[in-house]
Structure 1
Amino acid sequence: IDMKRGLSFDIQPQLQKGDSAYRWNWNTPIVIGTRKAQKPGSKSYNLYTGSQYLFRSIDEGKNWERISPDLTTNNK
């Protein structure tokens, strides 16, 4: 929520073309990382969340990057 402007927006990763449905837990957390985002001039921290994949955002949840393979396949 942008408290100054009174605006809110959804920050959940959106399904990409060719992906199967993301499997979210009903109480999936969004975690604030301990490092500043690797974006020039950024003052915010990385955000992380996960379904069967782990996602990272460097722009306060506007865009998400999938940073892991499917973690539920038990593929050794």
Structure 2
Amino acid sequence: VSTIFKIGSKLDAGNYRPVTMLPIVSKVIERIAHQQLFGFLSELSGLNEVRSQSGFRKAHSTQTSLHRV
């Protein structure tokens, strides 16, 4: 984790934001694991059948929920 200065006094710790520097290999592995796990859960537990769940799903948003209401 590295810190990047935002604005204001450099003595105030609140004026810095943390930025993680992850290696590209870990990002690729994380993406592959996510795709496999989400695909597995979608088929077995029927995530596609849950109509009221819009959070953390691709192509779903608060607008999707509002349209249903």
TM-score, normalised to structure 2, is 0.24
Judging by fraction of residues, say which structure has more strand: 1
Q: RCO (CA 8 Å, sep 6+): is it higher in 1 or 2? A: 1
Judging by fraction of residues, say which structure has more helix: 2
TM-score, normalised to structure 1, is 0.22
